[in-house]
Amino acid sequence: MKIKYPDYNLSLLNLVSSVLVHFGVTTHHKTLPAFDSLLSTQYKNVVIMLFDGLGTAILEKHLPFDAFLCHHLHSTISSVFPPTTTSATTTMGTGLSPIEHGWLGWSLYFNEIDANVNIFPNTLSGSGGRSAADYHVAQRYIPFESIWNKISKDSNSVVKAYSVSPFSSFKSKSIYEICNTVKRLCTENRRKYIYTYWDQPDYDMHLYGTSDEQVKAQVWYINEAVELLCEELYDTLVIVTADHGLVDTKWRYLIDYPDITECLLRVPSIEARAYSFFIKPGMKDRFVTAFNRHFGDCYLLFSKEQILQNKLFGDSIPNPRSIGFIGDYLGVATGSYSIDYAPSADHDVFKAAHAGLTDEEMNVPFIVVECR
């Protein structure tokens, strides 16, 4: 597999920055030039549809070149790091890089409760779904302002911004419900920005792998639904993209390597393919030697200083909480193997995963449909 680092000049962060600038919201991030050119037409409706896991490689694996989405593929852009739903969709929802918003990955360590928390569902990592607290931990300690609020506020309500997903106020339970909601919203008179999220094909790829027929069916459903939607829209610019791609994977567990676990201060966090290690005092050299001996063929090990120097999580002033979440070292997958601390009580073993530094995980499509 080819190593691919995030490109914060041509990425999801730049995509959402173009949206902000277009609707009059100040941002210090660069925009996406190709998107800026399209937005200059001043469409009444701007729609970004994000499909979880529909990276460029997945799109091209399951659709012929003349399928609707492939036909309208403008180019490939970069996800953010790590290329995973938590960090990427939070970037899309805030206009901030991961190092700024702090929602770096699925599981983060919060010293306030001395535990790793699965921050989207607010559960304790490895607990099988037990609540982390009687409040939402991440929302309390790493809060953010949404892009929808920013647009509505800074445009003086001239523009209306919507989020349509299973988790928004619209509670859409299928891709067809999402498309019907978009179609209805686009008939409103005012200018608007609509962002949609759907959890396929990521959900099925985790269960069955990237090449399964069920995954192919999901990609075809998406292709068909978006094509039907675009046929019924007018004066609307539709962008289709993804938060990340996936790779088929095999698992290895740290508990099988006591020379590594004896160096750990706590169970690692962030993501299995972007693992944050907190090391006991005086044991860093031992940890580095042991980790590279066992996993150097499939993971790159970065110190916290290297992570910040290389701006892997974004070229911005770091959120202080982000610096704490990174830990002493970050192990990042570059091949097909993934590492977990132990077999997880939170889910079955995934057949495909993401959050590593490979082309397949990092590259996402920039699909453009101009509905005139």
Q: How confident is the model at residue 372 (pLDDT cuts 50, 70, 90)?
A: confident
**Confidence at residue 168, expressed as pLDDT on a 0 to 100 scale:** 87
CB atoms inside a 10 Å sphere around CB 297: 10
Whether 156 and 144 have beta carbons less than 8 Å apart is answered as no
Q: Tokens in use for 27? A: 């941002």
Compute the average pLDDT of residues 258-272: 97
* Type of residue numbered 83: P
Is 201 within 8 Å of 85 (Cβ atoms)? Answer: no
Question: Mean per-residue pLDDT for 126-131?
Answer: 90
What pLDDT shows up at residue 24? 93
Residues 182/164, Cβ–Cβ less than 8 Å = yes
Cα gap 167→165, rounded to integer Å = 5
Report, as an integer, the average pLDDT of 77-100.
98
**Amino acid code (one letter) for 90:** T
Q: How far is CA 359 from CA 78, 107, 159, 242, in A?
A: 9, 23, 36, 14
What does the pLDDT look like over 346-359, one tens digit per residue? 556 899 999 999 99
What pLDDT score does 172 carry?
86
What is the pLDDT of the chain when averaged over all its residues?
A: 96
Instruction: Give the domains, in start order, of the chain with CATH numbers.
Output: 12-98+144-247+359-371 (3.40.720.10), 250-349 (3.30.1360.180)
The per-residue pLDDT for 155 is 62
Nearest CA to 151 out of 25, 239, 42 is that of: 25
Residue-wise pLDDT for 15-69, tens only, equals 999 999 999 999 999 999 999 999 999 999 999 999 999 999 999 999 999 999 9
Partners of 279 in beta bridges: 264
- DSSP letters for 87-133: HHHHHHHHS--HHHH---SSEEEETTTTEEEETTTTEETTTTS-BS-
How far separated are the first and last CA of the chain, in Å rounded? 40
What pLDDT, on a 0 to 100 scale, did the predictor assign at position 61? 97
